[in-house]
Structure 1
Amino acid sequence: MNVKILLEYDGTAYSGWQRQKNAPSIQEVLERAIGFITGEKIHVVGSGRTDAGVHALGQVANFKTNTRIPIEKLPYAINSKLPKDIVVKHAQVVSEDFHARFWAKAKIYTYTIYNDKFPSPLLRKYSYFFPKPLDVKAMEKAAQMLIGIHDFKAFMASGSQVKSTVRHIHRLEVLRSGDVVKLVFEANGFLYNMVRIIAGTLLDVGTGKKDAAETLSIIKSKDRTQAGKTLAPQGLCLVKVIY
């Protein structure tokens, strides 16, 4: 049977989702745990490859198994063999052709910036610390220009070999609550480091280093050097995969 699972994890200790030769990955740990309880060689397919240090509230994956463990008990069985920073929240049997990556229609990510004079020890693993004042209104203005169908090549890190750099951002919000500025992204797909580069660009707008009006020219340039820096991974979280 084909099993779809919903995952939450703290990515701090991992090299990312994808299995690596010399570093621990979410995929490797998950496959080992499921393999242990089923007695099978398991291959887990994720909806996407989160990078080292990136977290997830709603990662989705699927795997094939012949286990006789009841589906409602499967999360408990898997979790008993997982470290405390990875948890399976739900499992269900899906059609044999379901594919966590190829069937995904959209994803929602958040990027969290802790904006205060002093860092927060409690939030340091889950946010990017930035001590300078931010103009959230200007950031919102720039964010609105990124919504829609665009060629986001200027916001893609090198090392990716995608066929097309065109993506559709459905939603991009800049939300402030106290000392926390949260960027909410919803799109049909994301390029390599796209969210973190857009976050870096919006940060430049928030400090006045860039004008919000420059956003469209950055998109049109298709030039990575025109956009902001790639912000650190710990502020990024995969919130939901939409099918």
Structure 2
Amino acid sequence: MRNIKLTIEYDGKRYLGWQRLGDSDNTIQGKIEGVLSQMTGETIEIIGSGRTDAGAHAKGQVANFKTMSPLDLAKMREFLNRYLPKDIVIKEVEEASERFHARYNGTGKQYSYYVWNHAVPSAFERNYSFHYPQKLDKEKMDEACRKLIGTHDFLGFSSLKKTKKSTVRIIKELSIEQTGSLLHFRFVGNGFLYNMVRIITGTIIEIGAGKLPLEVIDQVLETKIRQQAGETVPSHGLFLDEVYYRE
């Protein structure tokens, strides 16, 4: 039995997210499993590094699957990219160790969120960034980023209800780069809770707009109350850039 690792890029705007759904095949996982099953003649189930929301994108999603197929890796990639929709691309196909698991072996992830900060929307950025027309204070937003770096309980910055699992995560990098009107929020951490990137981004934007005080960061980290944080920004500005694994 072979264990095959895939690195995947996709434009998520037409799909209901990563995870296969019982009442719809319009998911990234569902589309890839369909083509893999056709290619191998087996019923293939793939394991992703994690879910992405409906409308969110990926430049470096990782998944793995088991197969008895003798097909070589280059032909697998060629077949997949020929028969998958053009907005889903398999960048790499690799032979993995028998015990490799795309989700459980991950040590961290990098996400990006893009904001178009201009009074006038962009015809070109509209599917890949959140349009926020109000002027933003970049210095305040940078200060908010610095408060969030480190090890914290991020329950208040997630859409999770009460859970027995730990909600402590480590944010190793949180920065904002500005190129003209486009703001690029970069998150690097050992893991992220449900909607954590989108809620943190929304909170930082509201701090930059003067709608929330800078102290709200410390407050939410202490109280863990979701309602005290900012809005959840839309999914179409979110990208999963990379999944990290030990060598």
Superposed pair shares fold, TM > 0.5: yes
Cα deviation digits, residues 78-100 of structure 1 (max 9, x gap): 11110001000001101111000
Match of 2:103 among 85, 88, 101: 101
2: CA distance between counterparts of 1:213 and 1:230? 19
Amino acid at match of 2:5: K
Offset at residue 162 of structure 1 (A): 5.9
Q: Which residue of 2 aligns with 1:154?
A: 156
Alignment check: 8 A CA contact 1:149 1:169 kept: yes
Alignment of 1:175 with 2:169, yes or no, is no
Counterparts of 1:14-163 in structure 2, within 5 Å, are 14-23=15-24, 24-159=26-161, 161=163, 163=165
Using structure 2 for the length normalisation, give the TM-score: 0.96
Alignment check: 8 A CA contact 1:142 1:212 kept: yes
2: CA distance between counterparts of 1:158 and 1:100? 23
Deviates more, 1:156-165 or 1:55-64: 156-165
Alignment of 1:242 with 2:239, yes or no, is no
Deviates more, 1:164-173 or 1:14-23: 14-23
Deviates more, 1:180-189 or 1:213-222: 213-222
Using structure 1 for the length normalisation, give the TM-score: 0.97
2:188 is paired with a residue whose SS is: strand
Alignment check: 8 A CA contact 1:160 1:192 kept: no
Deviates more, 1:18-27 or 1:28-37: 18-27
Offset at residue 170 of structure 1 (A): 0.6
1: CA distance between counterparts of 2:22 and 2:16? 10
Alignment of 1:7 with 2:8, yes or no, is yes
Aligned length: 243
Q: Which residue of 1 aligns with 2:207?
A: 205
Cα deviation digits, residues 157-200 of structure 1 (max 9, x gap): 14574611110001000111101011000011100100000000
1: CA distance between counterparts of 2:20 and 2:87? 17
Amino acid at match of 1:20: L
1:105 is paired with a residue whose SS is: strand
Match of 1:220 among 199, 219, 222: 222
2: CA distance between counterparts of 1:131 and 1:123? 14
Cα deviation digits, residues 11-62 of structure 1 (max 9, x gap): 0111111011233110000000111111111010000000100000000000
Amino acid at match of 2:8: L
Alignment of 1:231 with 2:233, yes or no, is yes
1:212 is paired with a residue whose SS is: coil
Alignment check: 8 A CA contact 2:112 2:241 kept: yes
Offset at residue 215 of structure 1 (A): 1.4
1:29 is paired with a residue whose SS is: helix
The alignment yields a C-alpha RMSD, in angstroms, of: 1.1
Alignment check: 8 A CA contact 1:113 1:180 kept: yes
Identity %: 44
2: CA distance between counterparts of 1:193 and 1:214? 18
Amino acid at match of 2:117: N
Amino acid at match of 1:222: K
- Unaligned 5+ runs, structure 1: none
- Unaligned 5+ runs, structure 2: none
Distance 1:103 1:88, change over 3 A: same
